[in-house]
């Protein structure tokens, strides 16, 4: 997906960049570069003359200063788990990996904050919070690899956003290296700070196009004392939405996750996931995974039982299994977490990460299904994901036995068909994965023109030479 001729960088300039981090951390060997240029789903393969792995904020600043002076494009990267190609050096840019900035600078259980450098993985951040008897309330299936810098830069969502919000809700302070190498020091722990514009939110969700995040102060919450997890069969998406209402009316903010799964996804997970079995005795078309949590050590089991009993009575639930152990709850979650990955066993999958108002999800699913099969007869929609946020990964699998390449040739047309339905219901074409290169050219079609113009103005102001992740989110200036 080249969008201009590959950028070529003078070898003596490459040496100047390498000197900043030292030869050991300046990777030029293509084999050693592979983990930084190949995205794990193989949707994007980039190319770079140099991967830089700075070990300090000062080194990041020195790299950007030189990049700015020499108009050298840079692609920042965390764990390389992004799903929209934002972290891939598509035009031979230098890769700036933040994974050596991996110190947890502080955990402060009294202020309920944690200060992490950009390269700390989400899993390590959560473990450090747990060691202080706190919860860092963000959870992504990619937690072992994705980084705090990456989650901030994509404003990631995940399976706990229903109760705790997306990344923006977790960030109190930020440290950012600007395009010219200056450092914005804003690592404050304050809940209240009305001293002007909220600059940190410019960099959160900017996908590395406005600055390099080097550290952040993250908000912690008390660790739950009880968790209940149920795998529930529902007769329809309408029933799933109604069940969510029953659960939130009874448990309020204690509904931490509410995930939708179709039968097709469960079948693929059971077929390709080792040691998994169907949690329910008979098969059903739709399932939800519900997680409730509470600060009270007792009583939560009764709450989930009440919710399910009430829903059963109203015909909103047809069968359910409540996890009897942490192990069983993990098995339920494993099924859900495998849904993204197991699709590859079914051939080509045309993916969408959309959101619509929760009440509109059932109608969206119906219309999107009709649109998908009208375009490709026999196509198999496999919608799953964060129903509690109105965020559905609306992936459409190829017809059984079809040729994968022939099917994937429908990618743009399928996107257009599904996005038309998203628009009809007032939704978003990118709920949580971002824009990157995958959705960049669609942005002008869906974004308010004034908003788009403001975005371009901000980009020009913060990165006048266009060195930061050029061509991602916004097209390059002509």
Ligand X SMILES: Cc1cc2nc3c(=O)[nH]c(=O)nc-3n(C[C@H](O)[C@H](O)[C@H](O)COP(=O)(O)OP(=O)(O)OC[C@H]3O[C@@H](n4cnc5c(N)ncnc54)[C@H](O)[C@@H]3O)c2cc1C
In this structure, the number of other CB atoms found within 10 A of the CB of residue 336 comes to 23
Sheet containing 51-52: which strands, arranged edge to edge? 26-27, 51-52, 94-97, 74-77
Q: How far is the CB of 447 from ligand X (least distance, A)?
A: 18
Give the burial class of 253: count Cβ atoms within 10 A of its Cβ; 0-12 exposed, 13-18 middle, 19 or more buried.
exposed
How far apart, in whole angstroms, are the C-alpha atoms of residue 129 and residue 109?
8
Separation of CA 191 from chain center = 25
- Determine the Cα–Cα distance for residues 374 and 364; give it in Å rounded to an integer: 15
**Please, which residue, 216 or 304, has the CB nearer to ligand X?**
216
Position among 20, 21, 67, 146 found at the interface with ligand X (CB under 6 A): 146
Structure tokens at 92: 């031979």
Q: Alpha carbon of 116 to those of 82, 140, 151, 314: distances in Å?
A: 20, 17, 12, 47
**Rounded least distance, CB 139 to ligand X, Å:** 8
Binding pattern for the stretch 192-231 against ligand X, x by CB under 6 A and - elsewhere: ---------------xx---xx------------------
Match 């409540």 to its residue by tokens: 322
Q: Tell me the sheet residues that pair with 287.
A: 233, 261
Considering the rule CB under 6 A, would residue 89 count as an interface residue with ligand X?
no
51 binds ligand X (CB under 6 A): no
User: Does residue number 320 form part of the binding site for ligand X (CB under 6 A)?
Assistant: no
**80 is a contact residue toward ligand X (CB under 6 A):** yes
Interface mask toward ligand X for 412-431; x: CB under 6 A: --------------------
Q: Does 265 bind ligand X (CB under 6 A)?
A: no
73 contributes a contact to ligand X by CB under 6 A: no
Please, what is the minimum distance in Å from the beta carbon of residue 100 to ligand X?
12
Residue nearest to ligand X (CB): 150
Can residue 467 be called a binding residue for ligand X (CB under 6 A)?
A: no
Nearer to ligand X, 212 or 311 (CB): 212
- Judged by CB under 6 A, which of 113, 147, 331, 395 binds ligand X? 147
Tokens of 403: 């040729």
- Could you give the CA distance from residue 30 to residue 28 in angstroms, rounded to a whole number? 6
Q: Does 471 bind ligand X (CB under 6 A)?
A: no
CA distances from residue 59 to 102, 210, 292 in whole angstroms, order as listed:
14, 18, 44
Give the footprint of ligand X on this chain (CB under 6 A): 75-83, 86-87, 98, 118, 140-142, 146-147, 149-151, 153-154, 156-158, 207-208, 212-213, 340, 432-433, 436, 469, 472
């Amino acid at each position: 997906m080249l969008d201009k001729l590959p950028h070529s960088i003078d070898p003596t300039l490459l040496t100047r960049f390498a000197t900043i981090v030292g030869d050991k951390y300046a990777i030029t060997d293509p084999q050693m570069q592979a983990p930084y240029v190949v995205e794990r789903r193989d949707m994007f393969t980039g190319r770079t003359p140099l991967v830089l792995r700075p070990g300090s904020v000062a080194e990041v600043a020195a790299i950007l200063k030189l990049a700015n002076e020499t108009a050298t494009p840079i692609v920042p990267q965390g764990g390389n788990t992004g799903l929209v190609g934002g972290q891939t050096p598509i035009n031979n840019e230098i890769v700036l990996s933040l994974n050596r900035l991996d110190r947890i600078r502080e955990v402060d259980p009294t202020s309920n904050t944690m200060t992490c450098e950009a390269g700390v993985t989400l899993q390590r951040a959560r473990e450090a919070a747990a060691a202080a008897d706190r919860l860092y309330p963000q959870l992504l299936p990619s937690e072992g690899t994705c980084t705090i810098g990456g989650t901030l830069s994509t404003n990631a969502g995940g399976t706990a956003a229903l109760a705790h919000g997306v990344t923006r809700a977790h960030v109190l302070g930020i440290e950012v290296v600007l395009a010219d190498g200056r450092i914005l020091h804003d690592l404050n722990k304050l809940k209240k700070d009305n001293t002007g514009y909220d600059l940190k939110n410019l960099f959160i969700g900017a996908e590395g196009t406005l600055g390099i995040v080097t550290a952040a102060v993250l908000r912690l919450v008390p660790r739950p004392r009880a968790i209940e997890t149920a795998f529930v069969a529902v007769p329809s998406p309408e029933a799933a939405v109604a069940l969510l209402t029953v659960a939130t009316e009874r448990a309020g903010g204690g509904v931490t996750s509410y995930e939708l799964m179709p039968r097709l996804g469960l079948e693929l997970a059971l077929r390709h996931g080792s040691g998994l079995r169907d949690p329910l005795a008979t098969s059903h078309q739709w399932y939800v995974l519900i997680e409730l949590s509470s600060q009270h050590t007792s009583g939560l089991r009764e709450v989930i039982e009440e919710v399910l009993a009430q829903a059963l009575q109203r015909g909103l639930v047809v069968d359910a299994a409540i996890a009897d152990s942490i192990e069983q709850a993990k098995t339920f979650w494993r099924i859900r977490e495998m849904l993204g990955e197991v699709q590859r066993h079914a051939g080509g999958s045309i993916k969408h990460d959309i959101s619509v108002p929760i009440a509109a999800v059932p109608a969206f699913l119906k219309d999107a299904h009709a649109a998908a099969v009208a375009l490709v007869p026999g196509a198999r929609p496999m919608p799953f994901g964060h129903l509690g946020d109105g965020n559905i990964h609306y992936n459409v699998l190829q017809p059984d036995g079809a040729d994968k390449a022939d099917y994937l040739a429908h990618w743009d047309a399928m996107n257009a068909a599904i996005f038309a339905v998203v628009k009809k219901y007032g939704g978003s074409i990118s709920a949580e994965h971002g824009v990157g290169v995958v959705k960049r050219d669609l942005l002008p079609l869906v974004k308010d023109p004034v908003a788009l113009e403001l975005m371009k103005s901000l980009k020009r102001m913060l990165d006048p030479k266009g060195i930061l992740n050029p061509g991602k989110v916004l097209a390059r200036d002509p």
